Structures are given as structure tokens and as C-alpha cells.
Amino acid sequence: MRQTGDYDDLYNISEEDIEPLIEPAKLYIQEIEKLILSKKLLM
């Protein structure tokens, strides 16, 4: 049975918390897309 502590893991996040993460996340996604496309070309 699940513990009651499992349900207290919510976190309110502000725009200021997220803003510095947007550009690195976009770059990460671009790199993953490049890897996927390069693997498709090799198949």
C-alpha cells in the first residue's frame, strides 16, 4: 500500500525558476534530434 508521503511531492514553480532552463532544454532537444536523424540515415 502506498504511503501518505507519496502524495506530498508537489512543487510550485515560478517563471523565474523556468526561464533559465528553456534555452538549454531547446539545445538538448536539438542535439537529440540530430542523433535520431543520423541514426536513421545509417539504417
* Spans of all domains in the chain: 13-42
The pLDDT, as a whole number, for residue 14 is: 93
The pLDDT, as a whole number, for residue 16 is: 95
Angle at 40 between CA 36 and CA 43, to 5 degrees: 140
pTM over 0.75: no
Q: What is the pLDDT of residues 7-32, one digit of tens each?
A: 666 778 899 999 999 999 999 999 99
Residue 10 phi, psi (nearest 5):
-80, 150
Distance CA 20, CA 8 (A): 26
The pLDDT, as a whole number, for residue 1 is: 52
Number of separate helices (H) and strands (E) present in the chain: 1, 0
